[in-house]
Amino acid sequence: MNVYIDSNFVLEITLEQEQFAAASNIHMLAQMGRIQLVCPTLCIAEPLARLTQRRQERRVLRDDLKEHAKQLSRTGSHHEDVQKMEGVQDFLKNLDDLEAAKMRQFLISLLRHCRVLAIDEQVLSHTWLIQEDYDLEIQDALIAASVLIDLDRQGAPGSHSESIFVSRDSRAFAALKERLKPYNCSYIAKFTDAFSRINAKLTRPENPKPS
């Protein structure tokens, strides 16, 4: 079973967001060879850019805290408050380092168990058509085009085994449901629902667990 993912899958696991457990279970199934994860190239680069943005925002916050702590340190009665502010600065720096390490570790693991979709002339041409048809941001259109072109390359509509495209960005991708349907591919907006669908598929009699 092919499971198409986007950047949210990486961020969900790396940042341990609300649906972390379900996303991790999906990743574990890929590691076990029970499913095939499929990921557009952009979905590897986007989380790295997002992490860089978070680091920059926290750096600004740390600098502000450092300056306020410096000013408050001149008043003896604020000594404990200054220590607390310094503790927050250390926490933010440690959080940056932790997230970067987790991102590196997860991306390496993901690439071992994921088929990455390259961007070629056909995908890029389709991207602009998708952007026009659905009024998407260019990065979302590129992801959608990558998925649709890959499905088309797997065979003619009506000849596909069941697959899913899971992304929490329903604002961008929910409108693609009808475009995915001829390829027997369903759009799912929650990792919890996606894991339930995958688990149901794998536990059907035609998908026995390996002995």
pLDDT digits (tens, 9 = 90+) for 58-73: 888 878 878 877 777 7
Separation of alpha carbons 136 and 170, rounded Å = 12
pTM (2 decimals)?
A: 0.82
Residues 71-117: tens digit of each pLDDT:
777 777 777 777 787 788 888 888 888 888 999 999 999 999 999 99
Q: According to the model, what pLDDT value does residue 92 have?
A: 81
Separation of alpha carbons 147 and 45, rounded Å = 16
Tokens (6 digits) for 157? 């509509």
Q: Which amino acid is at 102?
A: K
Task: Tell the CATH topology of 2-51+110-202.
Answer: Rossmann fold (3.40.50)
Contacts (Cβ under 8 Å, ≥6 apart) of 58: 92, 93, 95, 96
pLDDT, mean of residues 152-158: 83
Query: Residue 118 in contact with residue 41, Cβ under 8 Å?
Result: yes
Tokens (6 digits) for 24? 């991790």
Helices H / strands E in the chain, number of each: 9, 5
Separation of alpha carbons 147 and 109, rounded Å = 21
**Element at 40 (helix H, strand E):** strand 36-40
Q: According to the model, what pLDDT value does residue 58 have?
A: 81
Q: According to the model, what pLDDT value does residue 206 have?
A: 64
Give the pLDDT band of residue 30 (cuts 50, 70, 90): very high
Q: According to the model, what pLDDT value does residue 48 have?
A: 87
Please tell me the least confidently modeled range out of 93-97, 114-118, 139-143, 203-207: 203-207
Query: Residue 185 in contact with residue 160, Cβ under 8 Å?
Result: yes
Identify the residue whose tokens are 């250390």.
Answer: 90
Q: According to the model, what pLDDT value does residue 70 have?
A: 78
Average pLDDT, the chain: 89
Q: Which amino acid is at 80?
A: E
Separation of alpha carbons 146 and 122, rounded Å = 9
